[in-house]
A and B are shown apart, each in its own frame.
Chain A
């Protein structure tokens, strides 16, 4: 079975400070890992994905994530938060043994002035 755990349901940062959203995974197979973002009244948008190539993955809007097999983690980071980053973020896993993405419970990011 495959699963992801998002360790924080809410994260609040000040504009201009770093962002860290945490995700741990569990999988018996080599996983693909994803981060999606959902802005209010919008669909889920893919930020970045890891598929067994480079362990440091760069995505859109300055986000990046590092796959750490030893820690079974895939944390999302951004050096400097912007007000427009306020949204809900979802970590997801795919192993190819099933045809589906398995999502975490989401982390709501709040960015304050």
Chain B
């Protein structure tokens, strides 16, 4: 069974440019999460999809970040325009049910560097 897959694994962009990160969850997992780890700090929640609906987007830092999950399958996270403080590792995770009863499976992350 394929795990959670994220593309690209690394991205280096200039300040002001646009970047789109992609996450393919485990097939059949309705729950999809985005997290971010800024260098040396904790892994912070960004948002949670249930199928194609945003269940909780309380962690999205500002309106430069846009997440979509059309059709309830893969998800994209767009940063436009990117700022230096957006640098970090972006993780995607998926689960078949709530986190109390099921496991969240994480991708390997996308390392974003804004220069």
Does A51 sit within 8 A of B, measured CB to CB? Answer: yes
Chain A, 22-68, CB within 8 A of any chain B CB = 32, 36, 41-46, 49, 51
Q: Looking at chain B's contact residues, is the secondary structure mostly helix, strand, loop, or mixed?
A: loop
> Interface size class for chain B?
20 to 34
Taken residue by residue from 17 to 57, chain B's Cβ proximity to chain A (1 for < 8 Å, 0 otherwise) reads as 00000000000000101010000111111001000000110
Chain A CB count within 10 A is highest, among B43, B44, B93, B101, for: B43
Partner of A43, one of B33, B45, B48, B106: B106
Does B3 sit within 8 A of A, measured CB to CB? Answer: yes
16 further A-B contacts with Cβ under 8 Å, apart from A43-B108, A46-B105, A101-B45, are A32-B100, A36-B106, A42-B108, A43-B4, A43-B91, A44-B91, A46-B104, A94-B99, A96-B98, A96-B99, A100-B99, A101-B35, A101-B104, A102-B45, A103-B42, A106-B42
Does B8 sit within 8 A of A, measured CB to CB? Answer: no
Taken residue by residue from 74 to 113, chain A's Cβ proximity to chain B (1 for < 8 Å, 0 otherwise) reads as 0000000000000000101010101111111110000000
State the total of A-B contacts with C-beta under 8 angstroms.
62
Bound-state Cα–Cα, A25 to B35, Å: 20
Please indicate the chain A residues that have their CB under 8 angstroms from the CB of B103 in the complex: 46, 49
Give the A interface residue count (CB, 8 A).
23
Q: Identify the closest chain B residue to A30 (Cβ).
A: B100
Partner of B99, one of A42, A43, A101, A103: A101
Q: Can you sample 22 A-B contacts with CB below 8 Å? A: A32-B100, A43-B4, A43-B105, A43-B106, A43-B108, A44-B43, A44-B91, A46-B103, A94-B100, A96-B98, A96-B100, A99-B33, A100-B48, A100-B56, A100-B99, A101-B33, A101-B35, A101-B104, A103-B43, A104-B42, A105-B41, A106-B42
Known A43-B4, A94-B100, A105-B41: A99·B106 in contact at CB below 8 Å: no
